[in-house]
Copies of this chain bind each other. A is one copy, B any other.
């Protein structure tokens, strides 16, 4: 079986769609690369790209895209709802088929080195690739954001893994790493009150005593005049999607706020899908091995 890697680079531009298109173009019509999704968010001012394919081909396209982002995104002028520290904010590699986590760690280091050498951006290795415990979690690395990174990077414990202790003037810094598949999940709340969204996020996230593998925070969705609980589910087996969704519904009731719906950003592993549907339909035998993808020519 051929190796398949997934990469989900996040770029700090979600408003100027010309820039988004130029970044996305790096992943189109490339042999061995399948572009699964390009999801710009206006309020976040951020675009999540989801790509899978042959490791070498994916790496090449990603490095090219980071170059385009470095050229076109100026973090000194960038504002958005989503925390960020670089034009290319984060580049995770996820093993999909016939690969180990170690394979992905190796890929992440190759890419980190290449990005630093080509574009002069300092790189933090994170998650499975992290060189120290304080830089495993992306929110810890990103704390202080672009504006605080110039100072932070000079602290001995925050020296970058690749490059000098000096941010790229317009592109900031970038985190690169290997991680397991996660679920990026946002839940929409029918309120404009950021405190309510924050309290709900705190009720579910591990760092505030909630579910261990949830990272969550509030975000304002101006386009829709609502608030959102934006989260990463870092282990969807331990903290399944349905449980998080139903818990947010439960907590929202406390504030008399309706849950309007949700969205998945990027890919959703089939296992996570079937686990949640099993819950909702009370499927006693489960769906393991039963799901079939059809593709008809008629």
Task: Write the residues of chain A forming the contact surface with B, with a CB cutoff of 8 angstroms.
Answer: 1, 6, 36-37, 50, 52, 95-102, 181, 188, 241-242, 245, 259-264, 266-271, 273-274, 276-277, 280-285, 287, 289-298
Contact = CB atoms under 8 A, between A and B. Distances in A.
A280 B101 CA distance: 32
A273 B287 contact: yes
**Residue with the highest number of chain B CB atoms closer than 10 Å, among A245, A291, A292:** A292
Contacts of A99: 296-298
Nearest to A279: B280
A280 B295 CA distance: 25
Given A96-B295, A273-B273, A296-B95, A262 B290 contact: no
Contacts of A266: 290
B242 A262 contact: no
A260 B281 CA distance: 10
A146 B67 CA distance: 71
A287 B271 contact: no
A6 B291 CA distance: 13
A296 B270 CA distance: 13
A268 B291 contact: yes
Contacts of A287: 264, 268, 273
Given A262-B282, A283-B261, A283-B264, A291 B270 contact: yes
Contacts of A97: 294-296
A244 to B, nearest CB: 10
A266 to B, nearest CB: 7
B262 A36 contact: no
Contacts of A276: 277, 280-281
Contact of A273 (B259, B274, B298): B274
A294 B98 contact: no
Which residue among A36, A98, A262, A273 has the maximum number of chain B CB atoms within 10 Å of its CB? A273
A65 to B, nearest CB: 20
A298 B268 contact: no
A93 to B, nearest CB: 13
A283 B263 contact: yes
Contacts of A98: 295, 297
Contacts of A280: 242, 245, 276-277, 280
A178 to B, nearest CB: 11
By CB atoms of chain B within 10 A, which of A181, A241, A245, A285 has the most? Answer: A285
A289 B265 CA distance: 12
A283 B280 CA distance: 14
B277 A290 contact: no
